[in-house]
Structure 1
Amino acid sequence: MSIAHRTVGSGPRTVFLTHGWFGSSDGWGTFPEYLDGDAFTWVFTDIRGYGQRMDEEGDQSLDESARDILALADELGVERFSIVGHSMGGALVQRVLALAPERVEALVGVCPVSSTPTPFDEAGRELFWGAAEDRDKRYGIVDFTTGNRNTPIFVNSVVDWSLEHSTKEAFANVLEAWAKPDFEDEVKGNETPVLVLAGEHDPALGKETCEQTWMQLFPKVRLEVIANAGHYPMFEAPVNLATRINNFLKETGA
């Protein structure tokens, strides 16, 4: 059976994109409209239980999701590719790198978690682990991670999207996957070109956190800050985000 996905562009180089906790393959706002479709083929993927794959069973582990991306690459006849991960997708793209380093041309983390556990205090654990069943907690997470600065209309739109495009079971399972990874030794020192993009107003996975995580792992890594954005730059600053990713990937290969 074909693995469901969404494709933008038809360029000679392939880029896989994996969504965040509240997202899906078609939940990137207007950001895909500004990607260079002549230079790249952009393949937007879903974790099992999300988006086009809401009816697919799975445990939502990082290994399951990473192997699904590799299987999709095989299905599409793509041997080498770049990969972009938003938020929890940061751990997933590092897992793909760990499993198949020879296949990854470049890595981009957008407001990304890493390959080490994310620390939570007691209040944070209650908020995040209660979010699968509690819409108000989902609202609180989105509002907090965008700096408590955006209209409730926007915050509600992200929350509603997550409720409509992921199952509660997948939403809960994938939290366990991205919050507790522990495989940094499998990627540390890898010389794949890496770009880390942090939102200026992201209090959870902003510049400081990325400096403590991603910047300690890769010799060929650079960190850039997206102005006027929190944790969702694909909505808050889509042109800026697309421009930086387009430019970086063009630098990494012919």
Structure 2
Amino acid sequence: MRVTMNGYSLAVEDGGQGTPVLLLHGFPISSAAFSPIRAFIEEVGRLVTVDLRGFGASDAPPGPYDMDSLADDVVRIADHLGLERFVLGGHSMGGYVAFRVAANHRHRLSGLILIDTRAAADTAEGVERRRAAVATIAGGGRDAFLGAFLPLLVSPATQDRQPEVMELLRAIAAGIPNHVLTGCLEGMMTRPDSRGLLAGLDLPALVVHGADDAVMPLDEARALALALPRGQLVEVPDAGHTPTLEQPQLVGEAIARLLAEQL
């Protein structure tokens, strides 16, 4: 399915029945990151996944790629599908987008799923890393950037035992235009701090985090779960920053339990 808005269209997949769950992928991936967990969720609810603007099968307009603009797309998709309230989930950058939806449309959310993401804004060091990445890509170093960054998205165990996961990540990233990569890097480094929202998000909230995440330490996920009034943490063993691809059964079953027991 394609949803058209403001002169561009986004690729959306919608399946299952029951409580609607809308999942947002991370950077630089696509909704293909959720394909291995789709069956688990659709057994108990309705799963909607979207390729954010510039990713996967969606159009890649010139911009903007800030988190609020991506969040606006998400709300338009929910409106198009008639989803008055829904569980919103986000992986990594998708979590940043989810927090912007929560900031501006809290009344639309019935639950949260936060996968290897954080509520805090970038540190000064993080901003400088993203600026350096933008400069590298703009200077013709796209392959060097992706070659260094993509291995950080999975655990060493995954790289050893599931080489097909790295192959998939490389294939997805290969299709993302440079202006989308740099636009999202700039959007992430200028995003607001969302920690002030957490105490007011009194709804079922599942925090899923790879135990071996090299991008965001597990301690951050523990703090995030504690800061949410109804936060629940699931630590995923032998997984890094992308547990939906690395340990799909564990992640899929955890989300299915949330839907069956709390929603």
Bin the TM-score by the shorter chain: 0.7 to 0.9
SS in 1 for 2:90: strand
1:87 is matched with 92
Deviation at 1:192, TM superposition (A): 2.1
Please tell me whether residue 117 in structure 1 is matched to residue 127 in structure 2.
no
1:70 is matched with 75
**Normalised by the size of structure 1, how large is the TM-score?**
0.87
SS in 2 for 1:36: helix
In the alignment, the residues of structure 1 paired with residue 172 and residue 68 of structure 2 have an alpha-carbon distance, to the nearest angstrom, of 25
SS in 1 for 2:198: coil
In the alignment, the residues of structure 2 paired with residue 48 and residue 123 of structure 1 have an alpha-carbon distance, to the nearest angstrom, of 25
In the alignment, the residues of structure 1 paired with residue 57 and residue 117 of structure 2 have an alpha-carbon distance, to the nearest angstrom, of 23
Aligned counterparts, 1:1-254, within 5 A: 2=4, 3-32=9-38, 34-118=39-123, 120=125, 124-125=129-130, 128-129=133-134, 130=136, 133-149=141-157, 150-151=159-160, 154-164=165-175, 166-184=176-194, 187-190=197-200, 191-212=202-223, 214-215=224-225, 217-253=227-263
| Deviation per residue, 1:117-159 (Å, 9 max, x gap) | 2563699457644357422321222223424441466434312
Residue segments in structure 1 that go unaligned for 5+ positions in a row:
none
Contact kept? 1:46, 1:52, Cα under 8 Å = yes
Residue segments in structure 2 that go unaligned for 5+ positions in a row:
none
In the alignment, the residues of structure 2 paired with residue 66 and residue 126 of structure 1 have an alpha-carbon distance, to the nearest angstrom, of 23
**Stretch deviating more after TM superposition (54-63 or 226-235):** 54-63
Cα gap change, 1:163/1:93 in structure 2, threshold over 3 Å: closer, same or farther? same
In the alignment, the residues of structure 1 paired with residue 172 and residue 260 of structure 2 have an alpha-carbon distance, to the nearest angstrom, of 32
The number of residues matched between the two structures is 250
Measured on the aligned residues, the alpha-carbon RMSD in Å equals 2.5
Deviation at 1:210, TM superposition (A): 1.9
Deviation at 1:83, TM superposition (A): 0.9
Cα gap change, 1:188/1:154 in structure 2, threshold over 3 Å: closer, same or farther? closer
In the alignment, the residues of structure 2 paired with residue 136 and residue 154 of structure 1 have an alpha-carbon distance, to the nearest angstrom, of 19
Deviation at 1:56, TM superposition (A): 3.2
**Normalised by the size of structure 2, how large is the TM-score?**
0.84
Q: Could you tell me which amino acid in structure 2 is paired with residue 139 of structure 1?
A: G
Deviation at 1:100, TM superposition (A): 0.6
Cα gap change, 1:131/1:221 in structure 2, threshold over 3 Å: closer, same or farther? farther
Cα gap change, 1:206/1:246 in structure 2, threshold over 3 Å: closer, same or farther? farther
Contact kept? 2:53, 2:61, Cα under 8 Å = yes
Deviation at 1:163, TM superposition (A): 1.6
**Stretch deviating more after TM superposition (46-55 or 180-189):** 180-189
Cα gap change, 1:102/1:122 in structure 2, threshold over 3 Å: closer, same or farther? closer
Q: Could you tell me which amino acid in structure 2 is paired with residue 234 of structure 1?
A: T
Structure with greater proportional helix content: 2
Contact kept? 1:91, 1:115, Cα under 8 Å = no
In the alignment, the residues of structure 2 paired with residue 61 and residue 173 of structure 1 have an alpha-carbon distance, to the nearest angstrom, of 7
SS in 2 for 1:79: coil
Cα gap change, 1:122/1:249 in structure 2, threshold over 3 Å: closer, same or farther? closer
Cα gap change, 1:120/1:30 in structure 2, threshold over 3 Å: closer, same or farther? same
Cα gap change, 1:73/1:11 in structure 2, threshold over 3 Å: closer, same or farther? same
| Deviation per residue, 1:198-243 (Å, 9 max, x gap) | 101112223112234x236422112221011111112211111100
Contact kept? 1:54, 1:167, Cα under 8 Å = no
SS in 2 for 1:189: helix
Cα gap change, 1:170/1:121 in structure 2, threshold over 3 Å: closer, same or farther? closer
Cα gap change, 1:114/1:233 in structure 2, threshold over 3 Å: closer, same or farther? same
